[in-house]
Structure 1
Amino acid sequence: MLLVGLSSLDHKLTKDTSFFGLKLWIVILICIVVIILLILVFLCFYCSSRHRPKPSTSNTSSSSNSRAHLTTFRSPIRSNNFHTSTAFSSSSTLDGRLLSSRNNNGLGIEMRIATPEKDLESVGSRYPPHMVSEDMKRRNHCYTLREIESATNGFADQNVIGSGYSGIVYRGVLFDGSRVAVKKLLYDSGKAENFIAQVEAIGWARHKNLVKLLGFCTEGTFRMLVYEYLDNGNLYQWLHGCTRQVSPLSWNIRINIIQAAAKGLAYLHEDVEPKIVHQHIKSTNILLDQQWNPKISDLGVAQVLGPDRTSHATTCSMGMSGYIAPEYASTGVFNEKSDVYSFGILLMEIITGKTPLEYSTETEAEVYLIDWLKSMVAKQNFDHLVDPKMPEMISLKELKRTILIALRCVDPDVKNRPRMGDVIHMFEPCDLLLSDEFCVRHKTCRSNSLKDNEAVAKQGESS
Structure 2
Amino acid sequence: MGWIPCSGNSNTKKKTKKPTKKMEVQENMVDPMKPAPGKLKRNSSTNSKDASKTGNPDHIAAQTFTFRELATATRNFRTECLLGEGGFGRVYKGRLESNDQVVAIKQLDRNGLQGNREFLVEVLMLSLLHHPNLVSLIGYCADGDQRLLVYEYMPLGSLEDHLHDVSPGKKHLDWNTRMKIAAGAAKGLEYLHDKANPPVIYRDLKCSNILLDEGYHPKLSDFGLAKLGPVGDNTHVSTRVMGTYGYCAPEYAMTGQLTLKSDVYSFGVVLLEIITGRKAIDNSKAAGEQNLVAWARPLFKERRKFSQMADPMLQGQYPSRGLYQALAVAAMCVQEQANMRPVIADVVTALTYLASQRYDPNSESPQSSRHLPATPRAKRGQ
- TM-score scaled to structure 1, two decimals? 0.61
Which sits farther off after the overlay, 211-220 or 242-251?
242-251
Name the residue aligned to 2:160: 236
Structure 1 position 185 matched with structure 2 position 108: yes
What whole-Å deviation, never above 9, does each CA across 1:320-372 have from its counterpart, x for those lacking one?
A: 22111111221123332111001001111111111111225554x76211121
CA–CA distance in 2 between the matches of 1:169 and 1:252?
A: 30
Equivalence map 1:10-409=2 (5 Å): 75-76=1-2, 83-86=10-13, 139-175=61-97, 176-186=99-109, 195-243=119-167, 247-307=171-231, 308=234, 310-312=236-238, 314=240, 316-317=242-243, 320-359=244-283, 362-363=286-287, 367-379=290-302, 380-409=304-333
Offset of residue 227 of structure 1? 0.2
Distance 1:82 1:327, change over 3 A: closer
The Cα shift of 1:201 comes to 2.5
Q: Within 2, Cα distance between the matches of 1:338 and 1:313?
A: 13
Cα distance in 2, alignment partners of residues 198 and 245 from structure 1: 35
Q: Distance in 2 between matches of 1:142 and 1:237?
A: 30
CA separation in 1, counterparts of 2:163 and 2:178?
10
Distance in 1 (CA, whole Å) between partners of 2:373 and 2:240 is 44
Tell me the number of residue pairs that the alignment of Structure 1 and Structure 2 aligns.
320
Distance 1:356 1:205 in 2: 28
Give the aligned residue type for 1:172: G
Q: Which amino acid aligns with 1:302?
A: A
Q: Which has the higher helix share?
A: 1
Give the unaligned 5+ runs of structure 1: 1-74, 89-101, 107-115, 119-133, 438-463
- Answer with 1 or 2: which has the greater Rg: 1
Maintained 8 Å contact 1:82/1:105: no
RMSD of the TM alignment (CA)?
3.5
243 and 275 in structure 1: CA distance in 2 versus 1, 3 angstrom threshold:
same
Find the counterpart in structure 1 of residue 45 from structure 2. none
* Aligned equivalents of 2:147, 2:19: Cα separation in 1: 28
Give the 3 Å change call, closer, same or farther, for CA 150–279 of structure 1 in structure 2.
Answer: same
The one-letter code matched in structure 1 to 2:242 is C
Aligned match of 1:19: none
C-alpha contact (below 8 Å) 2:121/2:223 kept by paired residues: no
Alpha-carbon distance in 1 for matches of 2:214, 2:83: 19
Once residues 322 and 144 of structure 2 are traced to their aligned partners in structure 1, the CA distance between those partners, rounded to angstroms, is 54
Counterpart of 1:183 in 2: which secondary structure? strand
Match of 2:377 in 1: none
Question: For 1:147-175, what per-residue CA distance to the aligned partner results, in whole angstroms no more than 9, with x for missing partners?
Answer: 12221233344433322222332222110
Contact 1:246 1:390 in 2 (8 A): no
- Among all aligned residue pairs of Structure 1 and Structure 2, give the percentage whose two residues are the same amino acid: 32
1:341/1:166 CA distance change after superposition, 3 Å:
same
Tell me the amino acid that sits aligned with residue 11 of structure 2: T
Amino acid in the other structure paired with 2:103: V
2:338 match: 414
Q: With structure 2 as the length reference, what TM-score do the two structures score?
A: 0.73
Residue identity in the other structure for 2:172 = P
Q: Which has the higher contact order (CA 8 A, sep 6+)?
A: 2
